[in-house]
A and B are shown apart, each in its own frame.
Chain A
Amino acid sequence: MKIVIVGAGPAGLAAARSAAEGVARSGADVTLIDGNHSTGGQIWRGGGAPEIETGVATLLNTRVASPDLLTFDKLILATGARELFLPFPGWTLPGVFGAGGLQALVKEGLDVRNKRVVVAGTGPLLLAVAHYLKTHGADIRLIAEQAPWSKLIRFGAALPSRKWLEALRLWNPCFSPSTWVTEAQGTTHVKSVSAGGKKIPCDYLAIGYGLVPNTELPQLMKVDPCALDEYQRTSNPAIFCAGEVTGIGGVDLSIVEGSIAGYAAAGDVEKARAFFVQRDRWKRFGTALAEAFALRPELAQLARPDTFVCRCEDVTYQELVAKASWREAKIHSRCGMGPCQGRVCGPAVEFLFGWKPDSVRPPLFPTPSGSFSMIGNEPQ
């Protein structure tokens, strides 16, 4: 039996561990694939990922752009999530990054010592990123959280004590609720941002409006990562989904879901069941997260007529506002038709205009054309 796992973040790593344990006796093989050059996913990008179990083959630097070249008996999709970007004037200036994006750059070696940084957007990620940047010498000027205190307090009340300690450890007096960036100024690089009625000089803006599940690969395989049975199994009994691809719930939920999917894929349902109670608990955390950090409608009003919404194809807000649907916007303006294929602007457009993205087509990532010619079996 061959078990393949796509995504080596917390969910994929947990799945690999339990799958390897579950199949150790049967001699099945487990392969873990990730597009990144190291395991760990979003959170353990710069190190800290648990060791890979023996018995797991790892294929790094390997993005699955189309499912056609995957062969498996059981497949676990743990493709995680990406940051949500919302367009506002100046968001395409150099020096403006995703919140997790700037953190990742620092992990890869970007020097932020004595740089003035504004961290903005929404969600627990903001405090984590600000803390990380500060420990790397950055001068944090503001943490602009769009959610109001009232919601944050309700969220805090529902947190387990471990999460409280973490929040205290990460706490920063620059934290400002009900605050959001309305504009970034600068010509060749960001110089300042407007937020909460003030103009704040800065060298970097790290901004993220939460996470969007990477559901494109499941969609291509015609399975719905939100419609799973108790074993994380999709409507296709050979395919499982685990982690943030199934919805945003944090690293603990990802690990638990990965463990369940791994055991279940290996046929060890008893071990999988042992995690159900924990999963329920972390799912409640996920629900509280979604309520606390729901985006306020004002954020859909920030773009000006000439603000780019699609940065691959340079499509502005005014070119889109009169369109009737995502499909019409796509074919008439080319929004979402560039190299990122709408991964960035698609979720933004959904928030701004309420349009659901249409079909997903391979390749999911820009891919050398030649790799398409490698699929064997000529049709009859």
Chain B
Amino acid sequence: MDDSEAQFALTRLSRELWMELSPDLPRSVEYEACGTLWVAADEEEMREVRRKQEFYASRGVSTQILDALQLREAEPNLRDGLAGALLVNQDSVVYPPCAAVELIARSGATVLRARSVGIESQKVMLANGESLEAGVIINAAGIHAGALMPSVSVPIAPRKGHLLITDRYPGFVRHQLVELGYLKSAHSTTGSSVAFNVQPRRTGQLLIGSSRQFGVNSPDIDAPMMARMLRRATDFMPGIARLSAIRSWTGVRAATPDKLPLIGPCPGLPHAFIAAGHEGLGITTSLGTARILTDHIVGKTPPIPLSPYLPDRHA
């Protein structure tokens, strides 16, 4: 969230928009304001906790530092000997597929089930040979955004991730848990890495992550990668090893070189816009992205400037 000022700004805006929306989201969205705990393993990471708190505080987001004892109380299943944590209270988790259904329903948009094969200036070409004309076109095809516009440079690379999903264990984990070392591993833009990351679902299921691999497109489970990820997870939370896993999953994040999404007009394609490349934050930052892009399109001033995200910044 605080990789850079621009990432922080988009995340904070989006968080506020989610909070506004949350009171009347249907149950199916599973909005759960469980908060995030950034877990510090040692004193060096505690210094990072304090730095992070100041960074957030100076930008109007209040957080709380937990010492080793308070962390134990907050999350009894974490291992002994951790130094503490930073608690970001209002952070939430949602069930993204149903959140998408809800947002589409609210928008009143018509959903056409069709595959697009290309975007031109005011035209979307479909695989069935038909095409759609529109005054404004937004390319939000995630990892596939570039393929739809071969003439435009869209610097998005796949970054594969694994998840392991457990059976229901209500209360086993209470917050979203992320190791602070996550910063280090998520920072590295080459090679593969794992980090301890667990999200509780309202159902009591746990999503255990995370892994990052560049240049891998296959959706297959990479067993050694999954093993590395699980060893990392059980290192922080030994009890995870006993929980029953019912499913594994992989997905591909759309990564950009500077770790900021591409939001704004498509260079060289008038009336076409892009909203893609959110890497591992695209659920969180979806609402902020939509707000600043639509404000820009209708000629309003967005709540935060669009400039850091403009698709042609790499040119």
For chain A, residues 311 to 347, give those with C-beta under 8 angstroms from any C-beta of chain B: 324, 331-332, 337-339, 341
A301 within 8 A of B: no
Per-position binary interface string of chain A over residues 43-69, scored 1 when its CB falls under 8 Å from any chain B CB and 0 otherwise = 000000000000000000000001010
Contact yes or no, A368 B244, CB < 8 A: yes
Q: Known contacts A368-B241, A370-B230, A372-B230; is A379 also within 8 Å of B222 by CB?
A: yes
Contacts of A337 in B (CB 8 A): 247
Bound Cα distance A370, B233 (Å):
10
Question: Closest Cβ of chain B: how far from A365's Cβ, in Å?
Answer: 9
For chain A, residues 269 to 297, give those with C-beta under 8 angstroms from any C-beta of chain B: none
Contact yes or no, B225 A379, CB < 8 A: yes
Question: Closest Cβ of chain A: how far from B184's Cβ, in Å?
Answer: 18
Most-contacted residue by chain B among A324, A369, A376 (CB, 10 A): A369
Contact yes or no, A372 B227, CB < 8 A: yes
For chain B, residues 293 to 313, give those with C-beta under 8 angstroms from any C-beta of chain A: none
Contact yes or no, A379 B98, CB < 8 A: no
B240 within 8 A of A: yes
A367 within 8 A of B: yes
Contact yes or no, B227 A338, CB < 8 A: no
Q: Known contacts A324-B113, A332-B101, A378-B228; is A373 also within 8 Å of B241 by CB?
A: yes
Question: Closest Cβ of chain A: how far from B1's Cβ, in Å?
Answer: 26
Bound Cα distance A370, B224 (Å):
13
Contacts of B227 in A (CB 8 A): 372-376
For chain B, residues 87 to 119, give those with C-beta under 8 angstroms from any C-beta of chain A: 97-98, 101, 113
Bound Cα distance A369, B219 (Å):
20
Task: Return the contact of A372 from the options B97, B98, B242, B245 (Cβ within 8 A).
Answer: B245
Question: Closest Cβ of chain B: how far from A376's Cβ, in Å?
Answer: 7
B22 within 8 A of A: no
For chain A, residues 110 to 146, give those with C-beta under 8 angstroms from any C-beta of chain B: none
B21 within 8 A of A: no
For chain A, residues 239 to 263, give those with C-beta under 8 angstroms from any C-beta of chain B: none
Question: Closest Cβ of chain B: how far from A84's Cβ, in Å?
Answer: 22
Contact yes or no, A370 B240, CB < 8 A: yes
Contact yes or no, A370 B228, CB < 8 A: no
Contacts of A375 in B (CB 8 A): 223-224, 226-227
A68 to chain B: closest residue by CB: B223
A222 to chain B: closest residue by CB: B220
Listed stretches A99-107, A191-199, A355-363; interface member:
A355-363
B226 to chain A: closest residue by CB: A372
A366 within 8 A of B: yes
Contacts of B164 in A (CB 8 A): 369, 372
B243 to chain A: closest residue by CB: A369
B246 within 8 A of A: yes
Bound Cα distance A372, B246 (Å):
12
Contact yes or no, B246 A339, CB < 8 A: yes
B271 within 8 A of A: no
Contact yes or no, B226 A366, CB < 8 A: no
Contact yes or no, A363 B228, CB < 8 A: no
Bound Cα distance A378, B230 (Å):
12
Contacts of B221 in A (CB 8 A): 66, 361-362
A and B contact pairs by CB, cutoff 8 A, 10 listed: A324-B113, A332-B97, A368-B244, A372-B227, A372-B230, A373-B241, A376-B227, A378-B224, A379-B224, A379-B228
Instruction: List the 5 closest pairs (A to B, CB-CB), nearest first.
Output: A370-B241, A373-B230, A68-B223, A375-B227, A331-B97
Q: List 9 additional contacts besides A369-B242, A372-B227; criterion CB under 8 Å.
A: A331-B97, A338-B246, A362-B221, A363-B245, A366-B245, A368-B245, A369-B166, A373-B230, A373-B231
